[in-house]
Amino acid sequence: MKQLQEKIMQEGKVLSDQVLKVDSFLNHQIDPPLMKAVGEEFAERFKEDGITKILSIESSGIAPAMMTGLVLGVPAIFARKRKSLTMSDHLFTADVHSFTKNETNEISVSKDFLKKGDKILVIDDFLANGQAVLGLLDIVEQAEAELVGVGIVIEKGFQPGGTMIREKGIRVESLAILESLEDGKVEFREEGTS
Ligand code: G4P
Ligand code: NA
Ligand code: NA
């Protein structure tokens, strides 16, 4: 997605060979017109698939998930990383291990909002090691819902998550794929080579 790549070039900060900071438009401040375009792009790619719900994870998955849900005309759910006071045992839960942070967190989704027969599009901001996506897939399975595909705003192509999820036969659509962040430079993978 050209508009997204341009934004990354203009405002992304390469913190290391491994980490791209995009908190001016995705992870802290949010750029609504860009997120609207992101939602339109995901909706275009999945418009024939009969999606009934978007499933994402707080916090940075919410903006792209909501915009995609708006365009497709379906609700957007976000898995919670902490149990809320009003949530009880009526939950689907999964453990998500972060290699980056070296911690495991339980994520949860209320059984009220994910049902057998739902056709789910999973959306997240970054795909790195793929552990967050795996946790969401686990929850989709528990609900006996159908996973249609995964939409990612920025995939780090040099980390294993994308390959691992695609090797399960799952459709992954990433709007920008980082080939490398070496030498402080952002290199994108060409479209169609993922
Ligand atoms: P994984 O789910 O793909 O295995 O991701 P990992 O544990 O490696 O990442 C942990 C957190 O760091 C996630 O956010 C993920 O989106 C984010 N992250 C990973 N690599 C990058 C990167 O290069 N740049 C940025 N900006 N973020 C990255 P989170 O803790 O769930 O936070 P949030 O959703 O509240 O923002
Ligand atoms: Na995220
Ligand atoms: Na994040």
Ligand nearest to the CA of 161: 1
Ligand nearest to the CA of 101: 1
Cα–Cα distance measured from residue 160 to residue 165, given in angstroms and rounded to the nearest whole number: 9
pLDDT of residue 85: 63
Residue closest via CA to ligand 1's atom 26 equals 21
Residues in the chain, overall count = 194
Pocket test for ligand 1, best of 8, 26, 100, 139 (most atoms within 8 A of CB): 100
Q: Which two tokens stand for residue 39?
A: 């939602």
Pocket test for ligand 1, best of 7, 98, 134, 138 (most atoms within 8 A of CB): 98
128 Cα nearest atom in ligand 1: 3
- Which residue type, as a one-letter code, is found at position 191? E
pLDDT of residue 100: 83
- Which residue type, as a one-letter code, is found at position 120? I
Q: Which two tokens stand for residue 139?
A: 């929850």
State the distance from the centre of ligand 2 to the C-alpha of 132, rounded, in angstroms: 7
Q: Which two tokens stand for residue 46?
A: 């999945």
Q: Which two tokens stand for residue 13?
A: 């900060």
pLDDT of residue 156: 98
Cα–Cα distance measured from residue 139 to residue 134, given in angstroms and rounded to the nearest whole number: 9
Would strands 76-79 and 91-98 be described as parallel, antiparallel, or unpaired?
unpaired
What stretches in the chain show pLDDT beneath 70?
Answer: 84-87, 192-194
For 50-71, the pLDDT digits (tens) are 999 999 999 999 999 999 999 9
Cα–Cα distance measured from residue 66 to residue 29, given in angstroms and rounded to the nearest whole number: 16
The Cα-based distances of 31 to 63, 113, 154 in angstroms read 9, 28, 15
Nearest Cα neighbor of 153 from 128, 124, 192, 182 is: 124
Residue closest via CA to ligand 1's atom 15 equals 126
Between helix 32-46 and helix 62-72 the angle, nearest 10°, is 50
Residue 39 near residue 64, CB atoms below 8 Å: yes
Please, what is the end-to-end C-alpha distance for the chain in angstroms?
14
Supply the ipTM of this predicted assembly: 0.94
**Please, what sign has the CA dihedral across residues 124, 126, 131, 132?**
negative
Pocket test for ligand 1, best of 81, 102, 126, 134 (most atoms within 8 A of CB): 126
Residue with tokens 């949010």: 30
Ligand nearest to the CA of 128: 1
Cα–Cα distance measured from residue 175 to residue 162, given in angstroms and rounded to the nearest whole number: 13
pLDDT of residue 78: 98
Q: What is the DSSP letter of 184?
A: G
